[in-house]
Amino acid sequence: GVEAKIAPSMLSSDFANLASEAQRMLDCGADWLHMDIMDGHFVPNLTIGAPVIESLRKHTKAYLDCHLMVTNPLDYVEPLGKAGASGFTFHVEVSRDNWGELVQRIKSKGMRPGVSLKPGTPIEEVYPLVEGEYPVEMVLVMTVEPGFGGQKFMPETMDKVRALRKKYPSLDIEVDGGLGPSTIDMAASAGANCIVAGSSVFGAPDSAQVISLMRKRVEE
């Protein structure tokens, strides 16, 4: 069976107070902390890298769910492994030729491999990575164009979640972008169990309530 994992996106936090923001989310009931790593090249935005993960790791034992929006994910495996990342989710769009090596290296550094795809990328592209000799353990279906928080959820991406869930009943399926109380039902009923949410959680007066509402919808 699949368990609900609610993962606040720290991209919406106050980066100047990352450790306390992370602790606040855990106190609010978060399962994972979603860390958006962007290189200013794969996406038109630049965020954080291994040094920040390493700093945060000194303050928390939480599962750090790293989402690599970068052109060369292989270059990040060693540094992120050393820094204490937990999950390493790369994009299929930049890893079409070397995902076997990439997955093997991620696992050898003690991290959990995942693959992500942009809204325009067909779901069939990730099937070989789920079924291969070195399988990924999570598929992250982007529900907005990657790069920025606060965008509008794209309901048409739910066809991909449904197709994945039908094919893989126990796979971790994560959704990311525009998730919150008004969109969680679409994602949960399509079969997503790992929910990333930035602006809806950090922008709410009661973050704990938003987290528990989303968990309930996934679990029912």
Give the nearer residue to Zn ion in terms of CB position, either 67 or 118.
67
Task: Spell out, one character per residue from 52 to 91, where the chain touches ligand DX5: x when CB under 6 A holds, - when not.
Answer: ---------------x------------------------
CA atoms within 13 A on the CB side of 189: 5
Listed ranges 80-88, 101-109, 127-135, 176-184: which one lies at the site for ligand DX5 (CB under 6 A) = 176-184
Assess 191 for contact with ligand DX5 (CB under 6 A): no
C-alpha span between 215 and 29 (Å, rounded): 9
Residue 62: partners with Cβ closer than 8 Å, 6 or more residues away: 22, 26, 30, 32, 33
Give the nearer residue to Zn ion in terms of CB position, either 137 or 205.
137
Assess 176 for contact with Zn ion (CB under 5 A): yes
Exposed e or buried b for every residue in 82-99, given b needs 16+ CB within 10 A?
ebbbbbbbbbbebbeeeb
Give the nearer residue to ligand DX5 in terms of CB position, either 111 or 214.
214
Tokens encoding 119 = 């809204």
Assess 12 for contact with ligand DX5 (CB under 6 A): yes
Assess 151 for contact with ligand DX5 (CB under 6 A): yes
Exposed e or buried b for every residue in 125-154, given b needs 16+ CB within 10 A?
ebeebbeeeeebbbbbbbbbebbbbeeebe
Assess 174 for contact with ligand DX5 (CB under 6 A): no
Assess 150 for contact with ligand DX5 (CB under 6 A): yes
Give the nearer residue to ligand DX5 in terms of CB position, either 29 or 128.
29
Interacting residues with Zn ion (CB under 5 A): 36, 67, 176
Catalytic residues, which ones?
36, 176
